[in-house]
Amino acid sequence: MSHTPIVPREKLNFHLDDADIPRHFIKDDPYRSRFFDALSTMFPVGERFFMECVRDYRSQITDPQVLQDIKDFIRQEGQHTMVHNQYNARLKAHGIDVDMILRKHDAWMFGFQRKRLPKSYTLALTAAAEHLTAISAHALFDNRGVFETADPRVRAMYAWHAIEEVEHRAVAYDVMQKTAKVGYFVRCLAMVEAIVTFLVMIAVISNYMLKCDGYSFMQRLKLRAKGFWWVVKPGGFVSPVLGKILSYFKPGFHPDQTGAMPGCNLWMETYERTRNPVLAGDVLHAAGA
């Protein structure tokens, strides 16, 4: 199934409860900081949804390698959720009502999608979201400038999450293709929904967070306009990976065509040697700067 080995790593400590992590973890950039903070609040519900949608098909699979890949995928996502919950506790201390965000996200993903839509479609949504998270990994670490002035602990958390997203990027996709036998149209429709949901949620949640930071309507408008330009401008957040995102719509697409994340081996070598994920994140970042 997946050609990239999936290595579950457990109990990583990023020291996310350190009091000296700045309120905006990217220096002098409230918009970008809250952009990634908004992303962090999407993981607890999102990843539980992904795990359940893949589990739906587990009983129909007999190939031991595929079953092992699913197990490792679930172990990785479980750890991601745990660490993002720790991170989100930081956001609560900023006066952000994270529980409200999670409740609304849960109502959408589980109260509506899981309840009302076919399991094959929710699996297609999972495969699409997994492609987007793996591509976000590329957006962050093919271009290290994004996190140039970020707090090393938060940056390291995203580096670890990014590497594991690349490792397990094909699991949901292969179950969707080989077991659920989802067709091309449904696969693409789910990707359109995943992209729209992602954009709307990031915009709404980051705006709410900036409001909690005390920015007025006009100040937020300015910050968001500047932030929007950073997202879409040539050489910005999205344009270097736009081709990779759109490749999902090619009829013969497979996630393993997306290529390796540069610096991945350096991260793994440093982590295996030191068991220090913050140092591994620093080494990864320095190699690409």
Which residues here bind Fe ion, judged by CB under 5 A? 77, 80, 130, 165
Query: From CA 264, how far away is CA 61, in angstroms rounded?
Result: 30
Residue 132 or 278: the one with the smaller Cβ distance to Fe ion is 132
- Smallest gap from Cβ 130 to Fe ion, in A, equals 5
**Rounded distance, CA 156 to CA 230, Å?**
22
Closer residue to Fe ion (CB): 83 or 223 = 83
Cβ atoms of residues 51 and 80 within 8 Å = no
Alpha-carbon distance values, 252 to 177, 248, 260 (Å) = 11, 9, 19
How far apart are CB 146 and Fe ion at their closest, in Å? Answer: 18
Dihedral angle computed from the Cα positions of residues 122, 123, 129 and 131, in that order, rounded to the nearest 10 degrees: -160
Q: Min. distance of Cβ 23 from Fe ion in angstroms? A: 25
| Between 6 and 223, CB nearer to Fe ion | 6
What span, in angstroms and rounded, lies between the C-alpha atoms of 213 and 100?
17
Q: Distance between CA 126 and CA 70 in Å, rounded? A: 13
Please identify, using beta-carbon distances, which residue of 125 and 223 lies nearer to Fe ion: 125
Indicate the residue among 42 and 223 with the shorter CB distance to Fe ion: 42
Please identify, using beta-carbon distances, which residue of 88 and 207 lies nearer to Fe ion.
Answer: 88
Measured from the CB atom, is 126 or 179 closer to Fe ion? 126
Q: Which residue has the closest beta carbon to Fe ion? A: 80
**Residue 169: CB minimum distance to Fe ion, A:** 7
Scanning 56-151, the segments in alpha helix (DSSP H) are: 64-93, 98-106, 115-116, 119-141
Q: How far is the CB of 134 from Fe ion (least distance, A)?
A: 7
CB 73 to Fe ion: min, Å: 7
Instruction: Report in angstroms how near the CB of residue 214 gets to Fe ion at its nearest.
Output: 31
| Chain-centre distance for alpha carbon 44 | 11
Residue reference for tokens 């956001």: 91
Whether residue 61 contacts residue 70, with contact meaning beta carbons closer than 8 Å, is answered with: yes
User: Please, what's the b/e burial string for 241-257 (b: 16 or more CB within 10 A of its CB; e: otherwise)?
Assistant: beebbebbeeeebebee
